[in-house]
């Protein structure tokens, strides 16, 4: 199996003496779904934000789709990765001044230099896939949170990425809106997309993840298959976390 | 016991207001002599522009008025709406061509420009120069490069610390010093440049406010889609920031229009300049009230039109409201 992301000894600190990432190493295979769990402040968001260069590293190195990122990487290397790695945020971060269609077709037109008609055609197809085709000509503020997040997924997919990163994609949603977003992600996983998902959704992790990684205080506590993790976690810290969640 | 006092006071105030209002109206209808305004209407519109060519500045004014009406009634005129941005952006070069001449029209020197057409030109010219400069200064002030940030900040703070009238005088005296000998730019252009340099500092601060209102996550979202920092600024951040800044920018635009009256002190015969020269004419001696009331009415009308246009633009630019 080819490795999509390989992280070696990542260290990142926001303030001296407190490491958000404290020597994190991991591998994500192509086509794999890795779910990252852990208490807030454990470094999970910071970790996946290093995968596309939103966070810089203090030391350690990353190999993302064959491009090397480390403490000394250049903007050019990051740009090379971003077109191939999609990201979905907790707060959707759609562009409020653009229609749904323009939100999705902006990057294909401006970054990949695709023809406007082709990019819009693609956007419509993706919206269809997300089950919200009829929203194409509305603006983000007119959509529910769940719909906005599905637009955000479509926007990331429009660049035809090889890896998708999800940073707590359902944490800002009303409970009754969570399922529609998770369903879209499930569909994506079924299609063989390589995914790294930071989430607190235990059901999703259990059902969709190939592996679950548990983090605490900037370190990887354990990485297991979901079956083992949820029924028979190896580490005391994982078990304590799970007992608080359920 | 206070109730009677209240009633009495209210009654007295009403009588006083009524008397003041009535005497004002009485003066306007019977006391005032409006010949100073009526006979000089052409002068107010175009200044001392050569009589044979007066249609040119007049056409300018008419075009602007027509454009304003079309814009405000826009939604009801359907097809016209599409061409509006084009028509508006064509207005400034068209206006300058009509006033200055050349390209088939006989050239007319700036010393004969005047009146409302000059006021319009000064406002539009300095506004169009100041806006891009202001945006650049706002971006400079938020730049990561210390030289750029320091320079922009120093410029903005300096300009805001100097009164406009001083900047205008500096403009008249200093700009010629920077030019090679023999090159001379005329008074109107010097005034427009000085005015724009001044207004840009204020516009920069309004735009900076708009930029600050856009959450950094918008830039992040643009970055992860592979947009370059420049594309992110152009396509994502600036359009939103300018929308936020629009109400304060309107304020600046109205201020700009009114402040063109300061140019009368530099000897330009825009609206106020015309009024001053008329009042100095023995035929209209002592007609201060009439002239200044008329002047106030013209400025009020122009500023109201601007405010209406700005509100119209705000609605047009609000995606959700205009989509309905």
What is the distance in angstroms between the Cα of A52 and the nearest Cα belonging to chain B?
7
Of the residues B216, B221, B238, the best mutation for testing chain A's interface (the one with the most A CB atoms within 10 Å of its CB) is: B221
Residue A110 has its nearest CB partner, among B218, B223, B231, at B231
Asked if the Cβ–Cβ distance from B320 to A89 is below 8 Å, we say no
pLDDT digits (tens, 9 = 90+) for B114-167: 888 888 888 988 999 999 999 999 999 998 899 999 999 999 999 999 999 999
Position B324 scores a pLDDT of: 47
The SS3 call for residue A196 is strand
pLDDT averaged over chain A? 92
Please measure the distance between the N-terminal and C-terminal CA atoms of chain A and give it in whole angstroms. Answer: 34
Best of B225, B231, B236, B240 to disrupt the A interface (most A CBs within 10 Å) is B225
Greater pLDDT, B154 or A40:
B154
Provide, as residue numbers in chain A, all residues whose Cβ is less than 8 Å from the Cβ of B218: 93, 95
Q: How many CB atoms lie within 10 A of CB B213?
A: 12
User: Is B239 in contact with A97 (Cβ distance < 8 A)?
Assistant: yes
Average pLDDT of chain B to the nearest whole number: 87
| Nearest Cα residue in chain A from B241 | A97
Residue of A nearest to B240 (CA): A97
The whole-number pLDDT of residue B133 equals 96
- pLDDT surpasses 90 at A65: yes
DSSP A168: S
Q: Across the interface, do B226 and A139 touch by the CB < 8 Å criterion?
A: no
Distance CA A69, CA A81 (A): 9
Chain B hits for A156, Cβ within 8 Å: 224-225
Tokens 């000509």 -> residue: A137
For residue range A44-54, what is the model confidence (pLDDT) as tens digits? 999 999 999 99
Cα B268 from Cα A227, distance rounded (Å):
85
User: Per the CB < 8 Å rule, is B224 touching A106?
Assistant: no
Residue B184: per-residue pLDDT: 67
Q: Do B227 and A107 touch (CB under 8 A)?
A: yes
pLDDT at position B74 is: 67
Indicate yes or no: CB of A95 within 8 angstroms of CB of B221: yes
CA distance B295 to B297: 5
Cβ-based contacts of A119 with chain B (< 8 Å): none
pLDDT attached to residue B42: 83
φ/ψ of residue A161, rounded to 5: -75, 160
Q: Which of B300, B254, B269 is nearest to B115 (CA)?
A: B269
Q: Which of A81-95, B21-35, B99-113, B301-315 has the lowest mean pLDDT?
A: B99-113
| Range among A196-200, B3-7, B285-289 with highest mean pLDDT value | A196-200
| Strand duo A211-216 + A194-198: pairing | unpaired
Regarding predicted confidence, which is higher, B106 or B223?
B223
pLDDT value for B7: 92
Token output for B252: 């600046």
- Reference B258, options B248, B245, B270; nearest CA is B270
Strand, helix or coil for residue B320: helix
At residue A103, the pLDDT reads 95
Q: How far apart are CA B3 and CA B11, in angstroms?
A: 12
* B320 in reach of chain A (CB within 8 A): yes
Q: What is the pLDDT of residue B77?
A: 62
Rounded average pLDDT over B23-49? 84
Tell me whether B218 touches chain A (CB under 8 Å): yes
Give residue-wise pLDDT tens across range B80-125. Answer: 667 777 888 888 888 888 888 877 788 887 777 888 888 888 898 8
Residue A131, pLDDT > 80, answer yes
Q: Which residues pair with A163 in a beta bridge?
A: A85, A194
The full length of chain A comes to: 246
Asked if A122 contacts A156 with a C-beta cutoff of 8 angstroms, the reply is no
* Candidates B224, B233, B243, partner chain A, best to mutate (most A CBs within 10 A): B224
The confidence score (pLDDT) of residue B161 equals 93
**Residue B249 predicted with pLDDT over 70:** yes
Percent of chain A with pLDDT over 90: 80
B276/A244 Cα distance (integer angstroms): 82
Tokens 């949170």 belong to A145
The per-residue pLDDT for B78 is: 61
What does the pLDDT read at residue B173? 82
- Of B205, B312, B202, nearest to B259 (Cα)? B202
- Highest averaged pLDDT of the listed ranges B90-99, B203-212, B281-290: B203-212
Nearest to B226 among A91, A139, A159 (CB): A159
Contacts with B149 (C-beta within 8 Å, 6 or more apart), sequence order:
B140, B141, B142, B143
């Amino acid at each position: 199996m080819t490795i999509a992301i390989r992280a070696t000894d990542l260290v990142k600190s926001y303030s001296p003496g407190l490491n958000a990432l404290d020597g994190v190493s991991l591998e994500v295979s192509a086509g794999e779904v890795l779910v990252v769990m852990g208490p807030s402040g454990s470094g999970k968001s910071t970790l996946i934000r290093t995968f596309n260069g939103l966070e810089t590293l203090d030391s350690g190195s990353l190999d993302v789709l064959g491009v090397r990122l480390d403490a000394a990487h250049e903007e050019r290397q990051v740009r090379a990765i971003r077109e191939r790695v999609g990201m979905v945020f907790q707060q959707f971060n759609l562009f409020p001044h653009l229609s749904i269609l323009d939100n999705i077709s902006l990057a294909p037109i401006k970054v990949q230099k695709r023809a406007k008609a082709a990019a819009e055609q693609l956007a419509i197809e993706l919206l269809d896939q997300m089950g919200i085709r009829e929203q194409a000509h509305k603006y983000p503020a007119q959509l529910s949170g769940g719909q906005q997040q599905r637009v955000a997924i479509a926007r990331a997919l429009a660049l035809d990425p090889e890896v998708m990163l999800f940073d707590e994609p359902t944490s800002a949603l009303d409970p009754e809106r969570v399922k529609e977003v998770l369903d879209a992600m499930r569909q994506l996983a079924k299609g063989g997309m390589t995914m790294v998902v930071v989430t607190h959704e235990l059901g999703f992790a259990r059902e969709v993840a190939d592996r679950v990684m548990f983090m605490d205080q900037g370190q990887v506590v354990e990485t297991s298959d979901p079956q083992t993790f949820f029924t028979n976690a190896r580490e005391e810290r994982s078990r304590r976390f799970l007992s608080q969640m359920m | 016991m206070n109730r009677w006092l209240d009633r009495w006071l209210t009654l007295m105030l009403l009588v006083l207001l009524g008397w003041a209002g009535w005497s004002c109206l009485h003066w306007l209808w019977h006391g005032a002599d409006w010949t100073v305004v009526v006979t000089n209407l052409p002068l107010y519109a175009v200044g001392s522009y050569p009589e044979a060519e007066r249609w040119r500045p007049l056409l300018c004014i008419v075009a602007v008025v027509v454009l304003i009406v079309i814009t405000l009634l826009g939604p009801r005129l359907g097809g016209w709406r599409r061409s509006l941005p084009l028509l508006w952006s064509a207005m400034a070069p068209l206006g300058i061509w009509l006033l200055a001449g050349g390209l088939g029209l006989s050239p007319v020197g700036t010393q004969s420009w005047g009146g409302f057409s000059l006021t319009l030109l000064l406002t539009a010219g300095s506004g169009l120069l100041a806006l891009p400069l202001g945006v650049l200064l706002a971006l400079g002030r938020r730049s990561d490069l210390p030289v750029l940030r320091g320079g922009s900040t120093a410029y903005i703070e300096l300009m805001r610390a100097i009164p406009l009238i001083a900047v205008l005088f500096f403009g008249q005296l200093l700009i010629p010093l920077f030019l090679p000998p023999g090159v001379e730019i005329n008074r109107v252009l010097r005034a427009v440049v000085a005015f724009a340099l001044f207004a840009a500092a204020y516009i920069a601060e309004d735009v900076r406010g708009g930029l600050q209102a856009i959450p950094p996550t918008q830039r992040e979202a643009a970055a992860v889609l592979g947009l370059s920092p420049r594309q992110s600024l152009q396509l994502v951040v600036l359009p939103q920031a300018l929308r936020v800044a629009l109400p304060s920018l309107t304020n600046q635009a109205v201020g700009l229009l009114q402040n063109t009256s300061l140019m009368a002190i530099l000897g330009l015969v825009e609206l106020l300049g015309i009024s001053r020269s008329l009042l100095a004419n023995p035929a209209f001696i002592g007609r201060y009230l009439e002239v200044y009331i008329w002047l106030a009415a013209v400025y009020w009308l122009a500023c109201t039109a601007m405010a209406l246009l700005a509100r119209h633009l705000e609605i047009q630019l609000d995606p959700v409201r205009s989509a309905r």
